[in-house]
Amino acid sequence: MTETAGLGEKGNCVLCGHNGSRNGTFFTNLNQLSAGDKVKITDKKGEVHMYQVADTCIIGPYDNTVKNQSDEEILTLLTCANKGTKRFVCRCIPVKEAGDADE
């Protein structure tokens, strides 16, 4: 979402993706993530960003708190749930320890 922080920047970076799109998988399996799982994202420059899932939840389709900013780096992944009537949210924190980027 353009009004949120960029990937790897201080603040809350919100990335949205389709769930079950016939043109690709995108975030189809996002709802299978749980606290402690690792998330690996490669940005447009080819830089790899590693995160760990902090928590997941389901919110209403008009709940804009998902875009709230933070003083810390946060990655929020967002997709539809309940046949498009709700949104599945996955909040992640960066993993900075040496060796974690190889997982």
Residue 1 lies in a domain: no
pLDDT tens sequence across 17-26 = 888 766 666 7
Predicted TM-score of the model (pTM): 0.87
pLDDT tens sequence across 12-68 = 999 998 887 666 667 888 999 999 999 999 999 999 999 999 999 999 999 999 999
Indicate which CATH number applies to the domain containing 18. Answer: 2.40.260.10
Q: How many domains does the chain have?
A: 1
Residue 22 lies in a domain: yes
pLDDT band, very low/low/confident/very high, at 102 (cuts 50, 70, 90): very low
Residue 55 lies in a domain: yes
How far is the CA of 26 from the CAs of 20, 43, 53, 79, 99, in angstroms? 7, 15, 18, 9, 27
